[in-house]
Amino acid sequence: MYPLVQPRPSATIPAFGPRPVLRVTDVMGLILGTVLGTGIFRTPSLVASNAGGEGAFFLAWGLGGTLSLVGALCYAELATTYPDAGGDYHFLRRAFGNHLAFLFAWARLAVIQTGSIALLAFIVGDYAARLAIGPSSAFYAALVVALLTGLNIAGIRPGSAAQNVLTSGVVLGLLLVVGVGLSVPNSTGTPAGAPAISGISPSTFGLSMVFVLLTYGGWNEAAYVSAEVESPGQTLVQALVWSILIVTGLYFLVNWAYLRGLGHAGVAASTTVAADLVERALGTLGAQLVSALIVLAAIASVNATIFTGARTTYALGRDFPPLAFLGRWSPRTETPVNALLIQGGIALALAALGGWTRKGFETMVEYTAPVFWLFLLLTGVSLFVLRRMAPAAQSFRVPLYPVTPLVFCGTSGYLLYASLAYTGIGALIGMGVLGVGGLVLAGLSIWRGARSSTTQ
């Protein structure tokens, strides 16, 4: 096979590209907006039903925060040492070469990011349809993808400003849930204080961790704006660490409110735990309020996912001439317009597929999870490779190396196994789309060989 199309030489790199304009609060807004999505409104009941007791329940959430901080520290070293709009794509390319980097960029465009946009948009659509009489949830899902894609095309400042506002609303809403939990009678049936850690089964606790880490997911998106932050060596580290600490604290408070208001059995039996808690205190109006909060949280996550997702597609077009149209950066709006348009189009197509199957959210979770954890594992491995290639180049060094990245890689490997073992046909489709990326890779290699033979 002919070698893959080579990256464009430095003389032909586009004149316009990312500029360092984002501050710590902007990066934290993106991280918090991505992580504080809808998982905290859906997964606690699944965690409670598998954890077996209140002690194991809180242990799972605490362990999730700890493992997320471990991963964030690994990404802090990679992103501050090699800041680039491509994020993981750039790390993988430096560590393993063009072939694997291309497959990751393909997976992010066709599976990971667009699938995440679609599944979050379905949550917006489902709850918006409950709040308003009129169009179907699929219509609202498509509408939010189109509107937020347009907002990000309009410029980096409108997109980041909207993200900060949306994220602030989500944080305030979560604190409202905590306040409601304090206002209702204690339903735990146990004295106040630290619960004993009991009722742990290795298999069911492992399944609990799948849902917990899904709820914590999204902090790694900070890597995709590393070329657009002021003083990345300080900004990214501060934003990642503070964001994980805030998320962990909020998750503990919200889950404590759930248990206090509904009890462990009530949380485990509920499929809409936040709505059930607030409805108990405020009635039907409370349930509508929570639905509006979930819509706001999902919109914040969609916007953050759109914002960061297009950066990898831009980096792919920047590096490979056959896809150069994706690598055009608008100097007026300071955004990758073509990458945003292509990403939005694929997300709309996936939303249409999910609407057709009538299981949009579940299908998209299965579709994205195995591919996501596969490349997160490889990104963790890239830290070891890049340390060996340039041992003195790090501007931030992950503490307790190599233990910290080994823990991160082990966690990612387990989640890769779990996402294949516990999901259905959607996982196979996602892996199949990744395989199609391999065929595209082969086609580009053939194109390279044919072009080389005609110029000789």
Which stretches within 202-336 are classed as H helix?
Answer: 202-216, 232-269, 273-282, 284-319
Residue pointed to by tokens 């907006």:
33
Helix, strand or coil, per DSSP, at residue 136: coil
**What's the confidence (pLDDT) of residue 251?**
93
Q: Tokens for 438?
A: 């391999």
Mean pLDDT of 119-126: 77
- Sequence letter at residue 161: A
Mean pLDDT of 75-83: 88
**What's the confidence (pLDDT) of residue 409?**
96
pLDDT at 239 over 50: yes
163 versus 397: the higher-pLDDT residue is 397
**What's the confidence (pLDDT) of residue 13?**
42
pLDDT at 297 over 80: no
382 phi and psi angles, rounded to 5 deg: -60, -25
CB atoms inside a 10 Å sphere around CB 404:
19
Distances in Å between the Cα of 331 and the Cα atoms of 218, 441, 443 are 28, 30, 32
The model's pLDDT over 435-448, given as tens digits with 9 standing for 90+, comes to: 999 898 888 777 76
Mean pLDDT of 400-405: 94
**What's the confidence (pLDDT) of residue 66?**
93
d(CA 190, CA 186): 9
* Full DSSP string of 62-85: HHHHHHHHHHHHHHHHHHHHS--T
Q: What are the residues facing 22 on neighbouring strands?
A: 229
* 35-39, 141-145, 235-239: least confidently modelled range: 35-39
pLDDT at 147 over 80: yes
**What's the confidence (pLDDT) of residue 194?**
46
* 24-28, 187-191, 255-259: least confidently modelled range: 187-191
Most confident of the ranges 19-33, 60-74, 166-180: 60-74
CB atoms inside a 10 Å sphere around CB 296:
19
Phi-psi region of 189 (alpha: psi -120 to 50; beta: other; left: phi over 0): left
**What's the confidence (pLDDT) of residue 289?**
78
pLDDT at 210 over 80: no
363 versus 74: the higher-pLDDT residue is 74
**Is domain 20-86+115-345+406-417 in CATH 3.30.310.50, yes or no?**
no
Averaged pLDDT of the chain: 79
**What's the confidence (pLDDT) of residue 326?**
85
Most confident of the ranges 29-33, 218-222, 340-344: 340-344
**Torsion over CA of 175, 45, 242 and 369, rounded to 10 degrees?**
-140
User: Residues of the chain with pLDDT > 90: what percent?
Assistant: 18
pLDDT band with cut points at 50, 70 and 90 for residue 395: confident
Mean pLDDT of 5-20: 50
Q: Tokens for 435?
A: 């395989």
Please state whether the peptide bond connecting residue 402 to the residue before it is cis, i.e. omega within 30 degrees of 0.
Answer: yes
pLDDT band with cut points at 50, 70 and 90 for residue 63: very high
354 versus 54: the higher-pLDDT residue is 54
d(CA 84, CA 384): 19
| pTM, full prediction | 0.77
pLDDT band with cut points at 50, 70 and 90 for residue 37: low
pLDDT at 42 over 70: yes
C-alpha neighbours within 13 Å on the C-beta side of residue 204: 14
**What's the confidence (pLDDT) of residue 8?**
47
pLDDT at 189 over 60: no
335 phi and psi angles, rounded to 5 deg: -140, 155
The model's pLDDT over 404-420, given as tens digits with 9 standing for 90+, comes to: 999 999 999 988 887 78
Distances in Å between the Cα of 276 and the Cα atoms of 200, 271, 273 are 26, 9, 5
DSSP 189: -
pLDDT at 190 over 50: no
pLDDT at 335 over 70: yes
